[in-house]
Amino acid sequence: MTDAQSDSAPYAIELKGISKAFGPVQANKDISIKVRKGTIHGIVGENGAGKSTLMSILYGFYKADEGEIFINGTLTPIPDSQAAIRAGIGMVHQHFKLVENFTVVENVILGAEDGALLKPSVAKARKLLTELAAEYELHVDPDAIIEDLSVGHQQRVEILKQLYREADILILDEPTGVLTPAEADQLFRILGRLKDEGKTIIMITHKLREIMDVTDTVSVMRRGEMTATVKTADSSPEELAELMVGRKVLLRVDKSPTKPGQTVLQVRDLVVHDEQKVERLKGVSFEIRAGEVLGIAGVSGNGQTELLEVLGGMIAATSGEIVLNGDSIDLTGAKSDGQSRRKRGIAHVPEDRQREGLIMNFAAWENVAFGYHHDPKYQKNRLFMDNAAMKRDTAEKMEHYDVRPPDPMLQAKNFSGGNQQKIVVAREIERNPDLLLVGQPTRGVDIGAIEFIHKQIIALRDEGKAILLVSVELDEIFSLSDRIAVMFDGRIMGERLPDETNEGELGLLMAGVTKGAA
Amino acid sequence: MDKMPRWADVALIPFINLVLALAVSALVVLYIGESPVEALQVMIRGSVGSAYGWGFTLYYATNFIFTGLGVAVAFHARMFNIGGEGQAALGGLGVAMVSLYIPWPHWSLALLGATIGAAIFGAAWAAIPAYLQAKRGSHIVITTIMFNFIASALLVYLLVNVFRVPGNMAPETARFAEGARLPNAYDVAPWLGFSRSTPLNVSFFVAVAACIGVWLMIWRTRLGYEIRAYGFSEPGAVYAGINPVRIIMISMLVSGGLSGLMAINSVMGEAERLVIDPVQGAGFVGIAVALMGRSHPVGVFLAALLFGMLYQGGAELEFEMPAVSREMLLVIQALVILFTGALDNMVRTPVARVFLSLRRERA
C-alpha cells in the first residue's frame, strides 16, 4: 500500500489524551495516537514505558482515568474485553491463551460458540478456517492438538481466533519473542497479507529491526509518555533507540579480538534426561577457553536450558564428562548441587530471573547473598547471619551496577526487569568466577540496561574468564560471542565464527538443517 | 510498590475480618432471641474481666501459640501441615513417658526433659509425612491429616492396653509424680489473684520463648533464610543449591516438634496425666492462628490470645446464656476461623483497592 493511499484512509483507531495511573505510578500520561486503517503501526519503548498498559486500555483490561477512544471515527467506550471484541479489536498476547489439549478448531470457537450445541459451530469454524487459510496464508490443520503444534503455528491459531471473531484491528504483543527467524519472517508475510486486506495492526515490540522491517508508522514511548510518532521510512534504528532511552545508545558492543588462554571448560558426550525420562541432551561436546565467549544459539527448548542447568548444578546428568580447569566434576549426587558448583568457581545467571535467579519476595539485600549465603562474610557467628553485612554489600553493588532505586530494603519484585537483572549480574560477576554461565541475559530488559550488562560480560571475558552464553536473540549472540554453537534437538549442530556466518546459515542450523542433509 | 502499608496488612485486615465474623455471629445470636451486645459483654467479661478468666484465656492461648507456631514454620516452607492435632497428641505421649518413667527431683528439670520428649515425639510424627512428601511427592495435606487419625487410634490403644492404671476404668495414665508437676500461675504469682486451680502454668513462658526462638530462626539464621527461599520458589532454591528434601524434612520436623510442645501445657501443666484426647482441637485452631497471624510469631501470639478469649469467653457464654448451646459456640468459633483464615482475600482485595485510590488522590 502506498503512502498516498494510506494518508487518505480513515483512522481505524484514535486515542485522545489517555491517562492511567496505578497508585503513584503514572503508567500513561496524556497519550494520543492516530492509526490509519490498513496500516501496521509499531509501538516501541523500554520495559515499563507503558506500552502494555496502553494496549490493555484499548482492549478493555484497564479503564483509563482520562481520555477517549475513537474506533473508525466514532467515540467508543471500552469498559471490558467484550466491548473491545464487539468493536472489532483482537489481541494476540505474548503468552498464548490456548487450551493445550484442545484441537485448533475447538480453540478457535472457544468463547464464541453459536449455541449450546458444538457441532454447528465446529462445522462453521472449519469452513471459515479453510477460507482464512487460503486468504492469508494462515495454514494450520484444524484438527491438530495445540500441544503438538510448533510455537509459530500456535501463534497462527491465536491470529485465527481473532479473525474468527471478525477483528479488524489486531494488537500483537511482542509477537516474535518465541519464534525462529524463519517463523518470524512467515509471521511478517501474514501480517502483510492482513494489511493488504484492510486490517489494521498494532505491534508492540522492543526489537527495532522488526519495526524497521514491517511497520508503516511507529510510536515511541518513554516513562508513560508518547515521545514521538514517525513514519518508519523516515527514521532509523539509532534514532528510535535514542528516543526510547532518552540518550545515545550503542547498539553493538565494542570489543577487542579475543585472546583465548588455556581451556577452562570441557564438556564431553553429555547426556541428560529430564524427570519424565525424556532425553534432553543427546551427547553434547564443546570446550571454552579462558577469555572467550561461547554463544549457544537455538530456538528455546532444544536443550539449552538443560545444558545450563547441568553445568549450574540444578539437575543431574545421565552420562558424559564435565572437566573444569582440568578436574572432572560430579554429574550426580550431593557434590553436583549449586553450592558445589559455586565453590569450584562457576557462577550462573539463570535464564529465568523471576523464578530462579531471584526470590521475588526477598528484599534486594537478601537476594544479593542468594546462592552465596554460606559465604563466611555473610555470617555473624556460627548461629546467625550477618544481615548488616549483606545490606552493606548490597548498597555497594547497587552503586557499582547503577541499580535503581538503590534501596537494599526494597523487595526484588518492585524493581524493573532491567534492575532485577542487574542485581543478578552484579551478584554473579562480582564473585569473579572462572566460568560464567549466562542464560538470556537481557530477556525483558530495557535497552539502557542491555548495553550495561553486555559491557559487564565482555569486561569479564577480557579479564580472562570463560563465558557460556545462551540466548534466543541472535543479535545478542552475534554481538557478544567469540564462537557460536547452534543447538537443535539436544545436539550441537555445528560451530561457527561470528565473522564467517550469517543469520540465514544459523537459522538453518537452528531448524536442524545441515548442509549435507539439505 | 506494595499495595498497602504494612500496618494495614498486619492489623487492619485481621481486625476487619474479626468484625465481620462477629457481625455474622451477632445475627446468629439474634436469631435465637438473645442480645448480641449482651453476649459480647459476657464473652469479654468472662475471658479477660477477671484473674479467673485470664487464667483460662492464657492457658488456651498457650496451646494455640504452640500449634500456631508449628503451622507457621511449615507455612514458611510452603508446607501445609494440618497434622498439628496428631503431632500434639504424640507430644503428649512423649511428655507422659518422660514424666512417668523418670523420677524427677525438681519440676524445672522435668520441664526440660518433657520439652525434649514432646518435641522429639511430635517431630517424629511429622517425619513420616515429611519424608513421603520430600521423596515420593505424597501430598503433605493428605498424609498429615491421615496421621491425625492414626495418632488418635494409637493413643487410645496405648492408654487402654499399656498405660491404664489397673483398677481404673478411665483410659488414662497415672497422675504424674510430684517432681513432674508444673507450678501454675497461683504458685508463681499468687498476688495476681489467680485461683489455686487455675490451668495457666509456666508452660506459658516456654510458649513465649518459642515465639522468640521461631522469630530468630526464620529471620536471623541461614536455615530460616533457606526455608523462606524454598517456600517462595522451589526452582529458585534448587538454583541456589538449597536441597529441597532437606528443607522439607527440617521445616516439618521443627513444625511437628512445636506442635508436640503443646502437650507440656495441657498434659504436664494442667491434667498432670495423659488422657484420651489431650489436644481437644488445638491442632486445628493452630491453622487459623497461623493464617490470622500471617505466619509471624508476633501475629501468632496475638491471634492465639484472641482464640484463647473466644474459647474461654465462649465457655462463659454457654454458662450464662443457656439458650446458647455448645454447638452455637462452635458456629461462632468456626465463623472467626472462616473469616480470618479462609476468606482473607475477600477483604484484602477491596482494602488494597481503597489504599491504591487513596494514594492516587494524594499523588
Question: Domain segments of chain A: what residues?
Answer: 3-245, 263-358+433-510
Q: A224 at the B interface (CB within 8 A)?
A: no
The SS3 assignment for B49 reads coil
- pLDDT value for A518: 39
ipTM of predicted complex: 0.87
What domains can you pick out in chain B, each with its CATH number? Answer: 57-303 (1.10.3470)
Q: Chain B contact for A381, CB < 8 A?
A: no
Q: Within 10 A of A192 (CB to CB), how many other CB atoms are there?
A: 16
Q: Which of B239, B359, B360 sits opposite A371 (nearest CB)?
A: B239
Residues of B in contact with A383 (CB under 8 A): 221
DSSP string, A420-462: HHHHHHHHHHTT--SEEEEESTTTT--HHHHHHHHHHHHHHHH
Report chain B residues whose CB lies below 8 A from the CB of A414: 1-2
- Identify which of B1, B229, B240 has the shortest CB distance to residue A25: B1
Residue A384 and residue B236: Cβ atoms within 8 Å? no
User: Closest Cα of chain A to B14: distance in Å?
Assistant: 21
Give the phi and the psi of residue A173 in degrees, each rounded to 5.
-100, 115
Are A39 and A11 a contacting pair, CB within 8 Å? no
Q: Which of A168-182, A422-436, B12-26, B189-203 has the lowest mean pLDDT?
A: A168-182
Is A308:A348 a contact under the CB 8 Å cutoff?
A: yes
Spell out the alpha helix ranges (H) of A16-150.
Answer: 51-58, 81-86, 104-109, 118-136
Cross-chain CB nearest to B360 (options A21, A360, A379)? A21
Nearest CA to B272 among B205, B186, B174?
Answer: B174
B78: region left, alpha or beta (phi > 0 left; psi from -120 to 50 alpha):
left
Instruction: Please indicate whether residue B87 or residue A260 has the higher confidence score (pLDDT).
Output: B87
For the CA atoms of A346, B235, B293, A387, what is the dihedral angle to 10 degrees? 10
SS3 A26: strand
- Say whether residue A373 is in contact with chain B using an 8 A CB cutoff: yes
Compute the nearest-CA separation of A340 from chain B (Å). Answer: 8
Nearest CA-CA partner of B89 in B166, B144, B161, B132: B144
Choose among B225, B229, B238: nearest Cβ to A314: B238
The answer to whether the CB of B339 falls within 8 A of the CB of B13 is no
CA proximity to A409, closest of A378, A365, A367, A372: A365
Average the pLDDT over each of A8-17, A468-477, B184-193, B270-279 and give the range with the smallest value: A8-17
> Is the bond preceding A405 in cis, omega lying within 30 degrees of 0?
yes
The fold of the A3-245 domain, in CATH, is: Rossmann fold (3.40.50)
| Closest-CA distance of chain A to residue B119, Å | 21
Q: What is the DSSP letter of B340?
A: I
For chain A, what percentages of helix, strand and coil (3-state, to nearest 5) are there? 35, 25, 35
User: Cα–Cα distance between A442 and A431 in angstroms, integer?
Assistant: 20
Residues of A in contact with B359 (CB under 8 A): 23-24
**Interface touch B233/A360, C-beta < 8 Å:** yes
How confident is the model at residue A24, as a pLDDT? 67
A384 contact residues in B (CB cutoff 8 A): 216, 220-221
| pLDDT bracket for residue B363 (50, 70, 90) | low
Calculate the CA A401 to chain-centre distance.
Answer: 22
| Nearest chain A residue (CA) to B230 | A359
Question: A314 to chain B: which residues are within 8 Å by CB?
Answer: 235, 238-239
How far apart are the CA of B272 and the nearest CA of chain A, in angstroms? 36
Q: In A, which residues are within 8 Å of B232 by CB distance? A: 359-362
3-state class (DSSP) for residue A491: strand
- CA–CA distance, A153 with A158 (Å, rounded to integer): 9
Beta-carbon contacts of residue B288 (< 8 Å; ≥ 6 apart): B303, B307, B336, B337, B340, B341
> What is the rounded CA–CA span in Å between residue A392 and residue A408?
8
C-alpha cell at A319: 552420562
Which residues, in sequence order, are bridge partners of residue A436?
A: A347, A467
**Interchain proximity A373–B226, CB inside 8 Å:** yes
What letter represents residue B261's amino acid? L
What residues of B are in the A interface, CB distance below 8 Å?
1-2, 216, 220-222, 225-226, 228-229, 232-233, 235-236, 238-243, 356, 359-360, 363
Cβ contact, residue pair A341, B241, below 8 Å: yes
Contact between A260 and A482 (Cβ < 8 Å): yes
Q: Could you write out the DSSP letters of every residue in B65-110? A: HHHHHHHHHHHHTT-----HHHHHHHHHHHHHHHHHHS--SSHHHH
CB < 8 Å to B241, chain A: 313, 337-342, 371
Amino acid at A80: D
What is the predicted pLDDT for the residue at B205?
Answer: 97
Smallest Cα–Cα separation from B337: which of B85, B30, B24? B24
Report the gap between the CA of A239 and the closest CA in chain B (Å). 32
Helix axes B297-320, B282-292, angle to 10 degrees: 130
Task: Report the C-alpha gap between A441 and A436 in whole angstroms.
Answer: 12
Of residues B216, B220, B360, nearest to A23 (C-beta): B360
Residue keyed to cell 518435641: B119
CB–CB contacts below 8 A, A to B: 82
| Angle between the N-to-C axes of helices B107-131 and B140-158, in degrees from 0 to 180, rounded to the nearest 10 | 130
Residues from chain A that touch B236, judged by Cβ atoms under 8 A, are 355-359, 370
Question: Which residues are CB-contacts of A446 (< 8 A; sequence separation ≥ 6)?
Answer: A46, A47, A48, A206, A245, A416, A417, A418
A117 touches B: beta carbon within 8 Å: no
**Which chain B residues contact residue A339 at CB under 8 A?**
240-241
CATH 3.40.1210.10 for the A263-358+433-510 domain, yes or no? no
CB-closest option in A24, A355, A366 to B359: A24
Low-confidence ranges of chain A (pLDDT < 50): 1-6, 517-518
Q: Do the Cβ atoms of B221 and A385 come within 8 Å?
A: yes
pLDDT given for residue A6 in this prediction: 46
Tell me the shortest Cα–Cα distance from A387 to chain B, in angstroms. Answer: 8
Residue of A nearest to B1 (CA): A414
**Of B216, B225, B239, Cβ closest to residue A373:** B225
Q: Would an 8 Å CB–CB cutoff place A63 in contact with chain B?
A: no
- pLDDT for the residue B360: 66
- Sort residue B295 into left (φ over 0), alpha (ψ -120 to 50) or beta: left
Same fold, A3-245 and A263-358+433-510: yes
CA distance linking residue A123 with residue A118, whole number of Å: 9
Nearest CA in chain B to A309: B239
Is A371 an 8 Å CB contact of chain B?
Answer: yes
d(CA B253, CA B140): 13
